[in-house]
Amino acid sequence: MKVGIIGGGAAGLAAGYEFIKRGHSVDVFERAPFLGGQASTFEVGGARLEKGYHHLFMSDQYMVDIINELGLGDTLQWITSKVGLYHGGRIWNWATPWDLLRFKPLSLFERLRLGLVTLYLQRKKQWGKLEHVTAKEWLEKRVGNNA
């Protein structure tokens, strides 16, 4: 079968790879002059910056397996996150649970609640039951409007 995929981002490329493994012919159509979609980068001051906030957790086993399957496992680097959150005229570190606990714009209760919901989401395996609700609705119900 000949398959056409619209979009050369991570999802489109992964889908194309799966079709090829099953013996299909694949064409990927991408409007931009590069692949990677929001996971691609652009140059700023001589360094590369991601177009969108994308990351790979060590627990993202499916992606790690694909990287290894493609023979790129030895190029995968686990780099300490330098994520920040701009709020109230300053940049707050936003990479560890300790950073969340130090985030004073939220009350201690809100910080703990957000941390527990984050822990729950990191461990959730089946997402089908969440398909009927938006992320905004789901989060507001569980962590409140401030968080």
User: Which CATH number is 16's domain given?
Assistant: 3.50.50.60
Q: Are residues 58 and 114 in the same domain?
A: no
The three-point CA angle 106-110-112 to 5° equals 115
Q: Is the pLDDT of residue 39 over 90?
A: no
pLDDT computed for residue 143 by the predictor? 93
Q: Are residues 40 and 67 in the same domain?
A: yes
Q: Are residues 63 and 96 in the same domain?
A: no
Determine whether 13 is exposed, middle or buried from the number of CB atoms within 10 Å of its CB (0-12, 13-18, 19+): buried
The boundaries of the domain holding residue 12 are: 1-79
pLDDT in tens, 47-103: 888 787 677 778 888 889 988 998 888 988 887 777 889 999 999 998 889 999 999
Q: Are residues 75 and 93 in the same domain?
A: no
Those residues with Cβ within 8 angstroms of residue 78's Cβ, 6 or more apart along the chain or in another chain:
58
Q: Are residues 53 and 91 in the same domain?
A: no
pLDDT in tens, 122-135: 888 888 888 899 98
Those residues with Cβ within 8 angstroms of residue 110's Cβ, 6 or more apart along the chain or in another chain:
143, 144, 146, 147
pLDDT in tens, 106-122: 999 999 999 999 999 88
